[in-house]
Amino acid sequence: MPVVDYKKYCEMLDNAKKNKFAYPAINVTSEATANACLEAFAELKSDGIIQVSTGGGEFASGSMLKDAALGAISIAQHVHLVAEKYDINVALHTDHCQPKKVDSFLKPLIEESRKRVAAGLKPLFNSHMFDGSELPLKENMDIAVELLKECKELGIILEVEAGVVGGEEDGVSNENAPAEKLYTTPEDMVEVYNRLSSVEGGRYMFAATFGNVHGVYKPGNVKLKPVILKEGQAAVVAKYGEASSFDLVFHGGSGSTLEEIRETLDYGVVKMNVDTDTQYAFTRPIVEHMFKNYDGVLKIDGEVGNKKMYDPRGYLKKAQEGMKERVKQAVRDLRGEGTTLGR
């Protein structure tokens, strides 16, 4: 099926919230990693979200250009083309964009979507994330409100964050963030709703933080407090009514137990970002291939090696298969198997 339009994306999010499951949002950096996602979603009959970070976009554009927006456009265009051949729905999203990258990343992508919409096409991306969590909440929301106005005009959903996800991702480090910053307060959640709801008709998702940490950790090492989401949702609903309940996003899930993950689904999480674990799942088969076939991938002692062993297609197929299986695990963990909305 084609990449979804605004109406179908809203139906996806509403369906997840109503039935207490979430979509894995998988970070990709290439055609191969995007294909792994599509195959996983299709095999489990689950809709899903494919997303590109600024670092992923830079990589996709090539090391000479390092143009995050250009690389993101390239990946999105590939997904638009190949998604037509699958029988599930997929949405395209951009991950963490800090304030200093809005002009070089988000704005060009919004402009690209504006051109497409003017030509009668769907936006290039279905949603974008503005991560203003490094700013005081007022400044964060000031920027978010203006971005939401632009996104609303084009049928794009905006994701925002208040509070800090610890650890390091894409070269952005919050490893020394104050402990209190790792937990979004009910007061902050009320204020986020108050500000964003001022954009009539605008739709948004909210990455509230509850001890999340980017990176890779053993289960138990990350001290999550999912109840923070429950308390924050309750505060918003108490003041503004049931319809104000957020579509929440879970960042920094590596090291979380299945019990913790599923608890968040009961509190309104409809999207969970997955990156570190799928990076490993993609890399592990390549390592195995190289160790087992070192004398074939290397031209040693004057020999010519074995072309079948060093042809990138061979080991990248294995890598794609490894990543696909990890994406399928994410779908199952989030109770998404068999939940596609179809056409």
Give catalytic residues, as residue numbers. 95
Q: Report phi then psi at 97, rounded to 5.
A: -120, 110
Residue 243 CB: number of other CB atoms within 10 A? 7
Residue 4 three-state SS: coil
In angstroms, the CA 315 to CA 308 distance is 10
In angstroms, the CA 143 to CA 48 distance is 28
Residue 187 CB: number of other CB atoms within 10 A? 11
What's the sign of the alpha-carbon dihedral 181, 185, 189, 190? Answer: negative
In angstroms, the CA 264 to CA 282 distance is 27
Provide DSSP, 79-111: HHHHHTTSSS-EEEEE----GGGIIIIIHHHHH
Residue 123 three-state SS: coil
CB proximity list for 276: less than 8 A, separation 6 or greater: 214, 215, 216, 254
